[in-house]
Structure 1
């Protein structure tokens, strides 16, 4: 289930031949890693489409869900899988994040991700939702909302979200191929957190889910 931070207002193995040279082995490793990333992204897309097709989990109104086959995704691009420096902010206090309705979402700034994308340095704030971490399946859940230069044209104007998990070390993987729209992009009965202005990327993120056309 997508981060239901969109709240319903109603409630190596590496095979190497004996003659392989060292540089060839490196290429095999890179190929395996890329293949694993691709498979992971395609699985994400498949599961997301299944969620949207299922009447019990879909944010789509019935008139759109009945004939639904797939969301519109950018072409998978592993250049949008980045390893970011992860700086924790343990002293941060809870705050109220505005939403698309009168409801406010209580969040805590859990950390800051610093990374390079499209040749430029960026940083984004990553949040934790106190209400969610009381649930076993969300105890290590982190929430990353962001906007970028594709919004309002190729992607939803309000920005997109990434679901993350608390990493063990001081880095975190951000896979923008898994960026998805908040549920309110599909149905006005949902209440979705608004992206803080500090999380506006000064670049175009051509990865993940595109705008919903209906």
Structure 2
């Protein structure tokens, strides 16, 4: 037991030495519990899209539906962002892919870094929701991911919080990515990320 403890201490010291020499932080990793939960969430979504009566995938296409495609989970796309709340929620109509705009509220902003580059997103809330809605676009749209952008949902932070986690591994497509008969909110122009977000759900293919 003592030998294991000493070995662990030596590894920790080596890690600190490497950090001081290179000036870079150790590579972040995702724990197995997180990965298992993510896999199960994705499995359940595939099952729902395949079997649910209200699935957005047209009935004639469900027989060939083999599941959604995702990027491999990456720890660097799970970021802690500093948040700035608005003192008063402001109305923010969102343009829809079909029909009239839909009512949302501006909740605040989140500032963070991706690949060392500063980013900023406007956080929205729909009246009565207990979560924040974060629609965004990035350079992968129209190639690796859905052309109109993707979404992430964030639990509503406690009143005293000044940070929030944004997990782009959980980025998902709107229903109109599967079926153009659906009308979906379009991301605000200001919610354009400059770094390709190779995380979360990819473009839909049967």
Match of 2:162 among 147, 152, 170: 170
Q: Which of the residues 166, 177, 182 maps onto 1:190?
A: 182
TM-score (norm 2): 0.83
Residues 37 and 78, structure 1, Cα contact 8 Å, conserved in 2: no
The equivalent residue for 1:74 is 71
Distance in 1, matches of 2:28 and 2:80, equals 18
Which structure has the larger Rg over C-alpha atoms?
2
1:52 matched to 2:49? The reply is yes
Runs of 5+ consecutive residues of structure 1 not aligned to the other structure: 1-16, 134-138
Unaligned runs of 5+ in 2: 16-26
**Aligned mates of 2:164, 2:31 — CA distance in 1:** 18
Structure-1 separation of matches of 2:204 and 2:29: 33
Q: Distance in 2 between the 1:25 and 1:42 partners?
A: 31
How much has 1:118 moved relative to structure 2?
Answer: 1.3
Q: Are 2:156 and 1:161 equivalent residues in the alignment?
A: no
Match of 1:36 in 2: 33
Q: Structure 1 residue 206: deviation in Å?
A: 0.2
Higher deviation after alignment, 157-166 or 58-67 = 58-67
Alignment of 1:110-149 (within 5 A): 110-130=107-127, 133=128, 139-149=129-139
What is the CA RMSD across the aligned residues, in angstroms? 2.2
CA drift of 1:33 comes to 5.9
Question: Is contact 2:28-2:76 (8 Å) kept?
Answer: no
**How many pairs were matched up?**
189
